[in-house]
A and B are shown apart, each in its own frame.
Chain A
C-alpha cells in the first residue's frame, strides 16, 4: 500500500515537473500562487443593500458584483456589453436602444435560478421605483434632468405628497409613468430610453446604480424589507450574497448562472468587519486579507522593513479641491475687493498648491496638484485626446500658477484701483460691523489691509491648511495689504457657514459624476447648484450654453474648454488639488479588473487575480508601463 502511494506521488511529481516545463519561459524565481478568494475588511457596517438607497459609494463594491447593469467597462475603461448585448443610438443621441441578452434569470441567496427572467420591463420598473420620491433614492437628482419627463414625474409626485393640488391623484400620475417618462420596453428584450436632450455620454450614466434592473413581483413580495437582508434581494451579477451577518461579515459566492461566469476568477468575496486600521495592516501582513490602506503613522512604522517595498500610492480620483470667494459677502471690504479682477488674480497667484498638497502627500505633492476645474484622464475625444489637453486648458494644466512676484504685482494694481491715496478702500463705510456669528464678528475700518475671513472646518488637516493659506496670503500679498482672519465651524459647516454666508474665502471639493464636461461646468454657472459664491458670470453662462448645444465631441470639448478657461482667466474659482492618493499594499495584481471612473464601473472583481505574495513596487511599475503601452496602442497614438 505504502509503496503504491509512494509511486503514485512520484508520478504526480514527475508529471507536474513535465507539465510546468511545458509552460515555456519559466523564470528562476519562486512560483507565484494565486488565491481563489478575495478577503477584505470593512470598518463601518453594511447597513443596507437596497441598490437605490446606498449610503455611499463604498457600497458599489458590493452592488456592482451582485447586480449587473446594461453596460460595464473592461480593463481599459471602455464600455462593453453586460446585460445588454448591444445598443444603438439615433443621430442626435436622444434615443438609446438596448438589446438585452436572452435567457438571463434572477438568482436567489442560495444561488438557485428563480422563475423570473430579466426583461426590459425590469429596467422600466426600476426607473419607476427611483423616480418615486416616497422611496427615498437620494441620488435620483443626478438623472432627473437626463431622462425625458422624469423631472416632471418626480415633481408631480413630490407636490402631491406635499399636499399641493395639481389636479391629478397620485395613482393617476403613477399609472401614466410609461407614457410620460422616456423609458419603454419595446418587447421583452428591447429597452429604449428617450432623453431630454442629446446625450452622447449616456453610457457613463448607464453605469450608475439608478439604472440597475429590479424584479417587480419580487419587490412586491418583500415590500419594505427590500435589500435589508440576503433573502430580500435577487441577484444577477457575477456573485450572489450567500452570507450576511449584520456588522460582522458578508460573503459573496460565485453565481453559476451568470452570463459571463468564465471570467469570474474568484470563487468568493469575503468581507469582515475590523474596528481599527491597525489590525487591518496586521491582518495583511499575516496574509489574511488581500489589500489594506495605511495611515501615515502606519507607513512610518513599516519604513525600512521588508514591507516597505510593497507600499504604493493609490491613483488620484476625479474629485477636485478648490477655493471659492463669496461675492456677496457681508464683509464690505472683501465684498468690494473681490469684484476686482486683479485682486482675484493676486490671490490666485499667491496660493502655493504644492505646499498644500504636501499636507496629505509629503513625498510627491506635485502629483496630486490639479490646476484645472475638471479632472484629467477620464474624457477623451475620438482621437484619444484628453479634454484637459484642449487649447486654453493645457496651459493651465501644465503650468504651476503659483507665482509670488506676479501676485505682488497684481496686488499693487488692485490696490491702485481699489483705494485712494491714503489707503481708504473706496465705497466702504469705516466702522461697519460685520456679523458672521457663530463664526466670527469684527469691525472693518475701511482702510488697508483688506480683511478676509477664511472659514474652515475644524479637523486637524483643515486647520493646518487654513494656517498655511493665511501664511501664504500675508507673505505673498503683504501684511499691509491683506489681513486674513481664520474662522472655524464648530458642528455643521452647512448650517453655520453655507446657510448663513459666513465666509469670504472657503475651500471645497467636488466629485465628477459622468463623462462630460457639463457634469460640473453646468453646476457652476450663475444659477448653478454649486454657485455658493453668488457670482454673476453671463459670459461664462453663454459659453456653457453654447457648448451644451454642440454634439460632436471634439467641438463640444473645445467649447467647454473655452468656457472653463474663462473661469480660470478671471480667477473666479481656484482649483488646487485632486482627491485620492492614499498609501496601500495589495495582493490583487494591478489592471486585472475592470477600470472606470463613473458610477459602478471600477468596482467589479471580474478577472481579478490575487497573488499570494504582495505586489512589489517594481511589479507595479512594470505592469503600469505595460498597461499604458496597451492603452496607447488602443487609442492609436
Chain B
C-alpha cells in the first residue's frame, strides 16, 4: 500500500521535473529578436539591444538561469514576469487571475454535475424513449456545432431575451449567469452521455440480470450495483477536475471579459515571457500529474473491485 503510493509519487515527481526542464531548455532556444518589434529592432543598435536583453536576464547562460530559477522557487519566490506584465510579481498575477477562473469553473462544475448526471441516469432508464432521444439530440447538437457559435448565441441572444448583462462584472451577480451557462453546456453533455453509456453497459451484465431475477427492486439494483460501478470511469477524473479549476477557458473568458487564467499560457509564450511560462508550466503540469495520481487513489475508495490494501495490513 505505502509502496504503491510512494512509487506513484516518484513517477509523478520525475514527470514534472522532466516537463519543467524540457520547457526551460526549449524557451532558451527561441531567437531573442522576438523581444523587439520591427521598428525597435532597427532603431536600437547592437549595444542597446544587448543591454535590453540583459535587463530582461535572458543573456545569462541557461544553467545560471536554471539555478536562479530553482533557488528562487525553493525560497517561495515565483519571480517577476518579464514581458507580458513587465516586472509584476508572478504570484500577484496568479492570485488576481486564479480567483475568477476557480469561481466560474466551480459554478459550472456544480451546474453540470447537478444537471448532467440526472440527465444521464434518466436517459439510461428511459432508453429509446423520449427523454433519451431529446437528451441525445442535445448532446449531438452541443458536440457538433462549433462551440464559438454556441457561445456567441448565448452571449448575444440570451442576454437580450433574459435581459442579462453581456459583460462580466464582479459586483453584479446577474452577470455571472451567462458565462456559467456557456461553460456548462459542454460538460453537461459530457456527463450525460458518458453516464448513460456506462449505465447501459452495466445493466446488460449478467450479475445485474441475476440480481433482477433474484427479485431485488429496480431502485435497489440501480443505486447499489449499477450506479456505483458506472460512476467509476467518471469519478476517476474528479480530483483532476478539482485541481484544474484554476485553468480558465480562453474563449469564454475572452467573450465575457473575465480577467481569469484563460489564454495566459498562450499569451506568455507569444510574449516570450520565460519566467511566466516556466511557472505556468510547472503549475499546470504539477496539477495535472497530481490530478491523475489522486484520481487513482480516489477510485480505490469508490470502486468496490479495487483494493490497494494487502490483506494483512
Contact = CB atoms under 8 A, between A and B. Distances in A.
Are A and B interaction partners? yes
Interface of A: 45, 47-48, 50, 53, 55, 133-136, 138, 140-142, 144, 154-155, 157-159, 161-162, 224-229, 245-248, 272-276, 279, 282, 492-495, 498-499, 510-511, 529-530, 532
Given A224-B80, A276-B254, A133 B86 contact: no
Interface residues of B, number: 39
Nearest to B88: A228
Given A133-B52, A138-B48, A158-B50, 13 more contacts: A55-B86, A134-B55, A136-B52, A138-B40, A140-B48, A158-B48, A158-B51, A224-B80, A228-B92, A246-B96, A248-B257, A272-B257, A276-B254
A72 to B, nearest CB: 25
Contacts of B88: 47-48, 228-229
B207 interface: no
A227 B167 contact: no
Contacts of B44: 138, 141
A275 B47 contact: no
Nearest to B54: A161
Contacts of B45: 141, 529
A227 B87 contact: yes
A225 B89 contact: yes
Contacts of A273: 257, 259
Nearest to B48: A141
Contacts of A159: 47
B233 interface: no
5 contacts: A246-B97, A492-B31, A492-B34, A493-B38, A495-B31
B144 interface: no
B249 to A, nearest CB: 12
B254 to A, nearest CB: 4
Interface in B39-91: 39-45, 47-48, 50-52, 54-56, 80, 83-89
Nearest to B33: A494
A1 B192 CA distance: 63
B93 interface: yes
B97 A155 contact: no
Contacts of A138: 36, 40, 44, 48, 52
Contacts of B255: 275-276
B236 interface: no
Contacts of A492: 31, 33-34
A2 B42 CA distance: 75
Given A226-B87, A492-B33, A275 B39 contact: no
B117 interface: no
A162 B50 CA distance: 9
Given A133-B51, A133-B52, A141-B43, A228 B85 contact: yes
Contact of A158 (B43, B47, B92, B259): B47
Contact of A225 (B47, B56, B87, B254): B87
Nearest to A530: B42
Contacts of A135: 55
The 7 closest A-B pairs by CB, nearest first: A133-B51, A136-B55, A247-B259, A275-B254, A248-B259, A228-B88, A158-B51
B26 to A, nearest CB: 16
B166 interface: yes
Contacts, number: 115
Contact of A133 (B48, B93, B254): B48
A274 B50 CA distance: 36
B257 A282 contact: no
B178 to A, nearest CB: 13
A133 B53 CA distance: 10
Q: Which of B39, B45, B48, B93 has the most CB atoms of chain A within a 10 A radius of its CB?
A: B48
Contacts of A47: 84-86, 88
A45 B259 CA distance: 9
A493 B34 CA distance: 10
Given A276-B254, A511-B39, A133 B85 contact: no
Nearest to B93: A246
Contacts of B42: 498, 529-530, 532
B185 to A, nearest CB: 19
B242 to A, nearest CB: 25
A161 B51 contact: yes
Contacts of B41: 494, 498
B97 A48 contact: no
A489 to B, nearest CB: 11
B87 A228 contact: yes
A157 to B, nearest CB: 8
A276 B43 CA distance: 32
Nearest to B82: A136
Q: Which of A144, A226, A248, A532 has the most CB atoms of chain B within a 10 A radius of its CB?
A: A248
B108 to A, nearest CB: 19
Contacts of A274: 167, 257
Contacts of B259: 45, 245-248, 273
B260 to A, nearest CB: 9
A136 B254 contact: no
Nearest to A510: B39
A411 to B, nearest CB: 32
A605 B257 CA distance: 26
Contacts of B40: 138
Given A141-B45, A228-B88, A275 B257 contact: yes
Nearest to B100: A248
Contacts of A162: 50, 54
Nearest to B95: A246
Contacts of B50: 158, 162
Interface in B96-117: 96-97
Contacts of B256: 275
Contacts of A275: 254-257
A124 B97 CA distance: 38
Contacts of A224: 80, 87
A141 B36 CA distance: 13
B280 to A, nearest CB: 15
Q: Which of B86, B87, B97 has the most CB atoms of chain A within a 10 A radius of its CB?
A: B87
B77 to A, nearest CB: 12
A133 B33 contact: no
Contacts of B48: 133, 138, 140-141, 144, 154, 158
A493 B37 CA distance: 10
A278 B92 CA distance: 31
Contacts of A494: 33, 36, 38, 41
A598 to B, nearest CB: 16
